[in-house]
A and B are shown apart, each in its own frame.
Chain A
Amino acid sequence: MIQTGEQPRGKSLGERAAASARFTGESAPVWAALAITLVVVGSVGFTAWLTVRGHAKAMREARAAQVENACRFVAEAAAPLLASGDLTAVRRIVIDAARSNSLDEMRIVLGDGGVLAAADPAKITAHHLPPQLPEVSLTPPAASSARRVVIAQAVDVPGRGRARLEASGPATMPTGALRDAQAAAGIVGAVGLVSLLLVSRVLQRRLRGMAAIRASLVAFERGERSSETLAVDESLGGEARAWNDLLSQRDIERRRQRAQHAAETLGGQRAARGELDDACDALWQGLILIDENLRTKYANGAAAVFLRAKRDEVVGSEITKFVTDERLLNTIRGVASGAIRSRLAVEIERTGDSGAGVLRFSVRPVRREDSAAAMILIEDVTQQRVADAARNAFVAQASHELRTPLTNIRLYVEQLLDGEPTPADRAQAINVIHQESRRLERIVSDMLSVAEIEAGQLRIVEDDVRLDALFAELEADYRAQAEEKKLDLRFDLPPKLPVIQGDRDKIALALHNLIGNALKYTPAGGTVRVVVADDEENFTVDVVDTGIGIAPEDAERVFDKFYRAKDRRVAELTGTGLGLALAREVIRLHGGDVTVQSELDKGSTFSLSIPMHARAA
């Protein structure tokens, strides 16, 4: 699988899908598996209940039959014994039968309610057998229930009449059979339940994978095309991994097709067209060929873009349909008709929201024997014109910057040559000449540095930079200028300044620009403080002034080359717009930076920071 770098590398599509918790197939399969499990477990339970219930019923029926048989046996055995008057034997039979059949009660009752024999001898109330037994009902004393079985049986005593044998006891035998059956059903149910849970768990995982894929497909049907979104969590199983692989393959194929299509659009091999057409379409300049009737015979892709029309519309149409500038049209007509036989160029500035810029139309004749024709080359020269304007402005500004110190130098030199200066005048003149020549040196140095930056050749030469000497030099350079302008210039330096690694000239250039700007843009009576601090990591210089400040919209742009703030007070002062750009560039080459904090009309703080162990970038 190709890593597309969409996320930190090392993660697959599925891992990223898992991380983003998309299409993990959570809800539907879980509920489905739960429902299936409940239905199956319910079925097993119900079946077990039916089995146990059936078993209990059979047990009750068997018990009833047992009690009936016992009663019948007792009745048949007791009848001849009662006929012979052997009550003792009858009573023993009753006791034995009740005990052997686990009956709570068994007795022989007479029609007058007397109890002739009973399982519990204490309940015997008739101690003598009457010669003739009174009439007796065969209705049992209570009805049988689910828990108890009650039986009434007639005892026909030959020659004496009828008595009633009653028996009652638990409906089921107090044996472990039913309990065993219930336990067996419970064990079967539990085993079935555990098996079902295991099966449902496996099934659930599989179903979640399928549900996640289904959700992905539904999203696709609704218009989602991103593989990142359509991917599923690979931990859901083999199907999920296969699905993600499929998406990855689709991405690779789509990118391949897009690349192929784009390559064709950008001038790749297209079988249906000639190499010359391909070459012309690869030009960023527009190319148009017209005949003597101003009808377009050929136009490349760039020409259509410049004319803001479709290529098919341009080819075969008159050029006047797309060009409205009268000066250009006259030129095209002159060249196409053969009246003009030289190459002419017309520049047109277009404005508006569609294709604004400066276009140069170069029109030249195409010499053919059978007819006249013209070729039009269209170029977008907007950036060149902007660059020309910036260069012209810079030259004008730089000339002014150079002229000012040169004029001062010339005046003082003339004063020294022509008059008879006093020693004080001579010293002042030499001082001014010295200052102005230093100023000239810095301007030229700035320009050279800008040229080096533009050429990508600005390099720093590392050496020890003794900061105490550097700041002493800076203070000496600017002290007179500050006093002249009535500014309070203060250098807040620590007692001992370190020696750092860097390019002394470049760091000095940056500091000169920051301090020089602060003095330049701070009105008389203001304050400029140069605050130096250093710690183990950085050496920092804050140049704090109470000057005119910088508007928020200009704060970052002041570091752009040739940029000068829109403030009227800035425009009144000379400057190339290079100083701050240079300062930031050279400090960044040292691994540091120059930043600004400012408030309009209150002042600015430019902060320069260099790592103590700076190395050339």
Chain B
Amino acid sequence: MQIIEQRQGAVTVLKPVGPLVQKDADQLKSRATDVLRKSLGRFVIDASAIAYADSRGLEVLVELTEELGAGGQALKLSSVNETLREVLDLTELAPLFECHEDVNCAVRSFL
């Protein structure tokens, strides 16, 4: 899976490209955990290019928001497409995340 990493100010934006499944999900977990450790949790996952997620993909998102939760934060997702949003709603996981309309909004939320 390709994961595009960009910096917007002090915030790191991770943009996974492709479905969030199995090993790809683990790859994102590893990358995001590394960014989380380096940046005190100042990162956003741009979900605009995530077509769908399987159970492992959802688990990784939950695990990341759990890690951030230890510091009173929640995982910030931006540009979540309709399919992924529906999955989060159906699985009752949506309240665990901060969903933002686009990356700029998500980055501004750190101000």
Q: How far is the CB of B72 from chain A (nearest CB, A)?
A: 4
Which of the 9-residue segments A121-129, A179-187, A251-259, A324-332 touches chain B? A251-259
Return the CB mask of B65-77 against A: 1 if under 8 Å, else 0: 1100111111000
Query: Contact between B66 and A227 (Cβ–Cβ < 8 Å)?
Result: no
Interfacial residues of chain B within 35-87, with CB under 8 A of chain A in the complex: 37-42, 52-59, 62, 65-66, 69-74, 83-84, 86-87
Q: How far is the CB of B40 from chain A (nearest CB, A)?
A: 5
Q: How far is the CB of B104 from chain A (nearest CB, A)?
A: 8
Checking B11, B21, B40, B86 against A228 with a beta-carbon cut-off of 8 angstroms, the contacting residue is B21
Bound: A6/B90 CA distance, A: 13
Is B2 an interface residue, CB under 8 A from the partner? Answer: no
Query: Contact between B10 and A2 (Cβ–Cβ < 8 Å)?
Result: no
Bound: A355/B53 CA distance, A: 29
Contact-residue bracket for chain A:
35 or more
Checking A3, A282, A300, A386 against B10 with a beta-carbon cut-off of 8 angstroms, the contacting residue is A386
Interfacial residues of chain A within 241-264, with CB under 8 A of chain B in the complex: 251, 254-256, 258-259, 261-263
Query: Contact between A266 and B69 (Cβ–Cβ < 8 Å)?
Result: yes
With most chain A CB atoms within 10 A of its CB, the pick from B11, B59, B70, B83 is: B70
What B residues does A306 contact at CB under 8 A? 40, 71
Checking A9, A228, A300, A357 against B39 with a beta-carbon cut-off of 8 angstroms, the contacting residue is A357
Interface size on B, residues (CB 8 A): 45
What B residues does A302 contact at CB under 8 A? 71-73
Bound: A589/B90 CA distance, A: 33
What A residues does B71 contact at CB under 8 A? 284, 286, 301-302, 304-306
What B residues does A354 contact at CB under 8 A? 37-38
Interfacial residues of chain B within 93-111, with CB under 8 A of chain A in the complex: 93, 95-96, 104-105, 107-108, 110-111
Checking B9, B19, B41, B90 against A387 with a beta-carbon cut-off of 8 angstroms, the contacting residue is B9
Query: Contact between B11 and A383 (Cβ–Cβ < 8 Å)?
Result: yes
Query: Contact between B54 and A357 (Cβ–Cβ < 8 Å)?
Result: no
Q: Given A387-B9, A390-B9, are A266 and B40 neighbors across the interface (CB < 8 Å)?
A: no
Return the CB mask of A364-400 against B: 1 if under 8 Å, else 0: 0000000000000000101111110010000000000
Q: Given A262-B62, A285-B72, A355-B38, are A6 and B110 neighbors across the interface (CB < 8 Å)?
A: no
Is B30 an interface residue, CB under 8 A from the partner? Answer: no
Bound: A262/B94 CA distance, A: 12
Query: Contact between B21 and A259 (Cβ–Cβ < 8 Å)?
Result: no
Q: Given A4-B54, A226-B55, are A383 and B10 neighbors across the interface (CB < 8 Å)?
A: yes
Chain A: which residue is nearest B20 at the CB level? A6
Bound: A266/B54 CA distance, A: 23
Query: Contact between B110 and A383 (Cβ–Cβ < 8 Å)?
Result: yes
Q: Given A259-B91, A385-B10, are A282 and B65 neighbors across the interface (CB < 8 Å)?
A: no
Bound: A4/B39 CA distance, A: 32
Is A536 an interface residue, CB under 8 A from the partner? Answer: no
Checking A258, A282, A385 against B59 with a beta-carbon cut-off of 8 angstroms, the contacting residue is A258
Query: Contact between A304 and B72 (Cβ–Cβ < 8 Å)?
Result: no
Return the CB mask of A269-292 against B: 1 if under 8 Å, else 0: 000000000000111111000000
What A residues does B95 contact at CB under 8 A? 263
Show the binding face of B for A, using Cβ within 8 Å: 9-11, 19, 21-22, 37-42, 52-59, 62, 65-66, 69-74, 83-84, 86-87, 90-93, 95-96, 104-105, 107-108, 110-111
List, sorted by A's number, 29 A–B pairs whose CB atoms are closer than 8 Å: A3-B90, A4-B55, A5-B90, A6-B19, A6-B52, A6-B54, A228-B22, A228-B54, A258-B59, A259-B62, A262-B69, A263-B95, A263-B96, A266-B69, A281-B72, A305-B71, A354-B38, A355-B38, A355-B39, A355-B40, A357-B10, A357-B39, A380-B41, A382-B39, A383-B110, A386-B9, A386-B10, A390-B9, A456-B105
Please provide the 10 A-B residue pairs with the shortest distance between their CB atoms, ordered closest to farther.
A6-B54, A305-B71, A5-B87, A386-B9, A382-B10, A383-B110, A284-B72, A302-B72, A266-B69, A302-B71
Question: Given contacts A5-B86, A305-B40, A383-B42, could you give 11 more A-B pairs where the C-beta distance is less than 8 Å?
Answer: A4-B54, A4-B90, A4-B91, A6-B57, A7-B52, A228-B22, A259-B92, A262-B62, A266-B65, A305-B71, A454-B104
